[in-house]
């Protein structure tokens, strides 16, 4: 096991470029993850924005998820490439503190956004006849703004210098040292983890329970118009898609969260660089799996992507065609 001093020693050592396999392979993997995250989320945003017809409420939440993933791919992840080659953090303590803040803020934003997606799907089942009046575009935008602002405010103390930045030499990433503020850290953990986990568990549990009940004699007790609206919403592929998005998010990040909680509980840093690297970047790959889920589960997204590709190809052909004199 490595001590905290050993953990920081790699950050303070000489910045010698290492082109050996033990440094080059992780750096290339991190660079590849960055590029895939950026491309995937640019495509997702362009597809959703270019889709014809009225924008459904759900699309604004998906844009919020894609925006946070894109920020992580453009700002947080690329700063890990060069440290992997020189075996230390080279950008200074302030940038390290900023990266740690952005990482946890973007993560919390996604957790809150997925929570509101679950609430949106829940209301589509509980209040199917009034759903469009309850879940308006303005209300959705307000909840999205609340998610971003809440995450930024809750996670800001480390950015303001109330704790020291830590560099994880195994994952090549900076993070805030929440152990300096035990009471505040516990409160933030409850406020960031509690509502999304409890809400998502309840909403999707209710949805799947209702899906089973409407196939029994319980359906005969419901108003026909209400039952028809419920069945229509239950048949929507958006429910399965959003459930898979939420499940993948937590499955991607729980191993890393569990390791960090274990280290915090026992009071020392595990001397397992490969484990730190694997678990953290497994979590970061969640920013890529979302596009895969959209392609598999959403026919609207596939149509929008095909239309986007056709429009881009047509624009390229027009720009490549000779201009008549």
Is residue 313 in some structural domain? no
CB 80, CB 37: distance < 8 Å: no
Is residue 101 in some structural domain? yes
Number of domain units in the chain:
1
What distances in angstroms separate CA 141 from CA 40, 49, 122, 263, one per listed residue? 23, 15, 18, 38
Q: How many CB atoms lie within 10 A of CB 303?
A: 13
Most confident of 84-98, 162-176, 197-211, 212-226: 197-211
Is residue 82 in some structural domain? yes
Q: How far apart are CA 118 and CA 196, in angstroms?
A: 9
CATH number at residue 246: 1.20.1070.10
- Mean of pLDDT over the chain: 84
Q: How far apart are CA 71 and CA 32, in angstroms?
A: 16
Is residue 290 in some structural domain? yes
Q: How far apart are CA 250 and CA 283, in angstroms?
A: 9
Q: Two tokens at 102?
A: 């952005």
pLDDT in tens, 48-76: 998 865 557 888 999 999 999 999 999 99
Q: Two tokens at 299?
A: 């026919």
Q: How far apart are CA 58 and CA 162, in angstroms?
A: 37
pLDDT in tens, 115-128: 999 999 999 999 88
- pTM here is 0.88
Q: Two tokens at 137?
A: 């575009």
Q: Two tokens at 324?
A: 């008549």
Rounded to an integer, the average pLDDT of 186-212 is: 90
Is residue 205 in some structural domain? yes
Q: How far apart are CA 316 and CA 155, in angstroms?
A: 44
Higher pLDDT, 19 or 150: 150
Is residue 212 in some structural domain? yes
Is residue 323 in some structural domain? no
Is residue 318 in some structural domain? no
The answer to which of 27-41, 97-111, 308-322 has the lowest mean pLDDT is: 308-322
Rounded to an integer, the average pLDDT of 101-114 is: 93
Q: How far apart are CA 283 and CA 175, in angstroms?
A: 15
Q: Give the domain extent around 13.
A: 4-305
Q: What percent of the chain has pLDDT over 70?
A: 87
Q: Could you tell me the pLDDT band of residue 162, with boundaries at 50, 70 and 90? A: low
């Amino acid at each position: 096991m490595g001590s905290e001093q050993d953990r920081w020693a790699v950050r303070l050592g000489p910045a010698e470029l290492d082109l050996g396999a033990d440094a080059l392979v992780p750096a290339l993997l991190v660079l590849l993850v960055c590029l895939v995250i950026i491309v995937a989320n640019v495509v997702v945003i362009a597809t959703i924005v270019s889709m014809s017809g009225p924008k459904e409420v759900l699309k604004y939440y998906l844009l919020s998820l894609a925006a946070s993933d894109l920020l992580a791919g453009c700002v947080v992840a690329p700063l890990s490439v060069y440290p992997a080659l020189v075996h230390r953090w080279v950008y200074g303590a302030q940038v390290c503190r900023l990266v740690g803040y952005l990482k946890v803020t973007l993560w919390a934003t996604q957790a809150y956004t997925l929570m509101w997606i679950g609430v949106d799907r829940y209301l589509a089942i509980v209040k199917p006849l009034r759903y469009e009046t309850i879940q308006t575009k303005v209300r959705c935008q307000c909840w999205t703004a609340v998610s971003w602002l809440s995450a930024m405010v809750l996670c800001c103390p480390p950015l303001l210098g109330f704790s020291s930045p830590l560099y994880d030499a195994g994952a090549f990433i900076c993070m805030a040292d929440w152990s300096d503020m035990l009471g505040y850290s516990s409160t933030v953990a409850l406020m960031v983890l509690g509502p999304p986990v409890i809400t998502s568990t309840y909403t999707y549990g209710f949805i799947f329970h209702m899906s089973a009940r409407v196939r029994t004699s319980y359906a005969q007790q419901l108003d026909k118009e209400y039952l028809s609206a419920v069945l229509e919403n239950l048949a929507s592929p958006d429910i399965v898609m959003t459930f898979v998005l939420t499940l993948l998010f937590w499955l991607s990040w729980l191993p890393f969260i569990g390791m960090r909680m274990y280290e915090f509980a026992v009071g020392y840093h595990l001397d397992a660089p490969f484990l730190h690297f694997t678990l953290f970047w497994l979590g970061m790959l969640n920013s890529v799996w979302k596009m895969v889920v959209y392609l598999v589960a959403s026919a609207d997204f596939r149509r929008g992507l095909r239309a986007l590709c056709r429009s881009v190809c047509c624009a390229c052909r027009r720009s490549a065609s000779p201009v008549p004199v």
